Chains A and B, each alone.
Chain A
Amino acid sequence: MPPPKSDVLPIRSGDDVVRVRQATRARAIEIGLSLVDQTKIITAASELARNTLDYGGGGEVAIEVVQAGARRGVRLAFQDKGPGIPDIAKALTDHYTTGGGLGLGLGGAKRLSNEFHIESTPGVGTRVVIARWK
């Protein structure tokens, strides 16, 4: 079996957010996600990329195609070296925001994904992993 494809993209500017969306779309189409599922994972990617940029001070994302049995999926791992999130449960509630946004980023991305993991250490950084399965 060929090794799973993995792209690592930097997230340093607003244009990078667009590039993350495009790369996510390419992978979603490659594994044959339905149009709605494609839209969901691309939107989740967009939310998290912007979080990484706005709150994490930039970082990177690894996008890969994953396989479990007959199912294929897209997995994205966002990583930043920002200030971290002191209270993850609070950050996940809707409309909670420290910036000027609507505060739907984390909770929204979680609802749009089949898998969602978050680890954060204040002062060290944050890592968010999401996946959408076919």
Chain B
Amino acid sequence: MAIDGTQVLVRTVTDDEAAILESWLTLLKSGGSLQTGRIREVELQAQARTVFGQLRDALASGESDGHAASYEALRETLAEISRSRAIQGFTPTDTANFVFSLKEPIFTALNKASGTDLAALTAGTQTASRLLDGLGLHTMEVFQTSREEVIGRQSQEIAELSTPVVQLWDGILALPLIGTLDSARTGVVMENLLQAIVDEEAEIAIIDITGVPTVDTLVAQHLLKAIAAARLMGADCIISGIRPQIAQTMVHLGVELNVVSKATLADAFALALRRTGRTVVRRAAPAPITLDERR
């Protein structure tokens, strides 16, 4: 009759609980996690005790498949630990080692308990290996997912931070674009601009591209889409700040921007004022500039 690895494992873990836990804690302490200062020893111990307790309880159900219902609580705890580590900035290795370092103590205990019964040892080791590998991978998956969430949130924040819409005058907005425009960022830029048009009841939006390093066909397309969308809402756009090199590149690439464009933001603003029926007039002769100011 084949020896049931689960039975061997259950017996060993229950009988040798104290020794396994202590040995695991020692391993965890000597591992990298504590040295980074990201987690305190007390916390690490508490986590280890909870996990071990839940593992023992789950095993007691006679089941050694990590996906079984009896492992639900353990999986939850591990997921929770993984998530917090991902956010605290632990390395994947540190996180995975939390579970994998339990292997050694359990194998040692199995070895001791089985004595000369090689078949029991093999069966127990295989079961423990499979179970802990599964749980380790589970923590890695949660870790990975949490990291992706963090990264996603960060790129969203960066996109929002880097696209302010400023009001220049009643009904006139400016959008100073800085940096490379990709599809994702243009999407955010466009939404911000259009929402600002609604909020400020703006008739004219000036898109200033002085800070955009290159304008290729794709960027031009993105800009044209934003302008078309603004027009659908009833606002006009003016492009400003096309630098000489960019104007050259655009012509060489055959990129056409069929919109009103002005060399500088100031020119565009003057046009916007004129279109909204305003003029800028000098009321007095300019004050003489002192030497200090000139410097």
Contact = CB atoms under 8 A, between A and B. Distances in A.
Contacts of B145: 69-70
Judged by DSSP, the binding face of B is: helix
Contacts of A69: 145, 148
Judged by DSSP, the binding face of A is: loop
Contact of A70 (B149, B187, B191): B149
A89 interface: no
Nearest to B190: A36
A36 B148 contact: no
A112 B148 CA distance: 24
A34 B230 CA distance: 19
Nearest to A134: B152
Interface in A12-71: 36, 69-70
Contacts of A36: 187, 191
A70 B141 CA distance: 10
Question: Chain A, interface size: which category?
Answer: under 10
A33 to B, nearest CB: 13
7 contacts: A36-B187, A36-B191, A69-B145, A69-B148, A70-B145, A70-B148, A70-B149
Contacts of B149: 70
Interface in B125-154: 145, 148-149
Contacts of A70: 145, 148-149
Contacts of B187: 36
B161 to A, nearest CB: 17
Nearest to B194: A36
A31 to B, nearest CB: 15
Interface string B177-197: 000000000010001000000
A36 B194 CA distance: 11
A69 B143 CA distance: 12
Interface in B35-79: none
Nearest to B191: A36
A70 B147 CA distance: 10
Interface in A78-103: none
B232 to A, nearest CB: 13
A36 B188 CA distance: 10
7 nearest A-B residue pairs (beta carbon): A70-B145, A70-B148, A70-B149, A69-B145, A36-B191, A69-B148, A36-B187
B85 to A, nearest CB: 16
